[in-house]
Amino acid sequence: EVQLVESGGGLVQPGRSLRLSCAASGFTFDDYAMHWVRQAPGKGLEWVSGISWNSGSIGYADSVKGRFTISRDNAKNSLYLQMNSLRAEDTALYYCAKGVVVVADYFDYWGQGTLVTVSS
Amino acid sequence: EIVLTQSPDFQSVTPKEKVTITCRASQSIGSSLHWYQQKPDQSPKLLIKYASQSISGVPSRFSGSGSGTDFTLTINSLEAEDAATYYCHQSSSLPITFGQGTRLEIK
């Protein structure tokens, strides 16, 4: 059974940093692209970033480019999102999602999300 | 960036009704269009991939069609458990984008 478990969310002040993690199990992690997708309270889905199986291809939404960094550790079956210079508009539930082969593809499994609140 | 526009934003429907949700892309995306269902307080779930390809475990009343810029998600014989928000998503090019969502309320 595919499982994606996010962690690392919390309350953080504007301008500070936070690192999210996603622990994956139930599939061969290093065969697939992985993604972060967020959902602000009461709003729709917004893709944040995606990374290919070997970290050779990475993409970011314009809203986070230059502030967020996605990475993965295939030996630990883990995905990460380093978030710097956080803003109030980054407040959202952050989902880890399993992709397919290339970064630009669909998401077939989603975690339950970790909540990030940016507020002073 | 490719913009996806869904219609309607909200629809109130009765059980056994047929529902059609449309998704229009700002430029041609071939068949790189996927549909998700998100029930309240749950994570999104993949319903349809590549415009019309079914997903194992998804009820057969859900189907998709379209290509290029115009796509449709159809729910035949709606059931109460289909109350949810539905999103389309394009993977033709980065950045990946979603439609704004269509909320279905069951009367």
d(CA A98, CA A100): 7
pLDDT above 90 for A101: no
Closest CA to A37 of A19, A60, A57: A60
pLDDT in tens, B4-19: 999 999 999 999 999 9
A60 in reach of chain B (CB within 8 A): yes
The predicted structure's pLDDT at residue A23: 98
pLDDT above 90 for A103: no
User: Using alpha carbons only, what angle is made at residue A26 by residues A25 and A31, rounded to the nearest 5 degrees?
Assistant: 85
The predicted structure's pLDDT at residue A35: 98
* Option in A44, A61, A104 nearest B93 (CB): A104
* Minimum mean pLDDT range among A36-40, A67-71, A102-106, B82-86: A102-106
Nearest chain A Cα distance for residue B97, angstroms: 6
Q: Where are the beta strands (DSSP E) in B3-107?
A: 4-7, 10-13, 19-25, 33-38, 45-49, 53-54, 62-67, 70-75, 84-90, 97-98, 102-106
* Option in A35, A62, A113 nearest B43 (CB): A113
Cis before B95 (ω within 30): yes
Question: How many other CB atoms are there within 10 angstroms of residue B52's CB atom?
Answer: 16
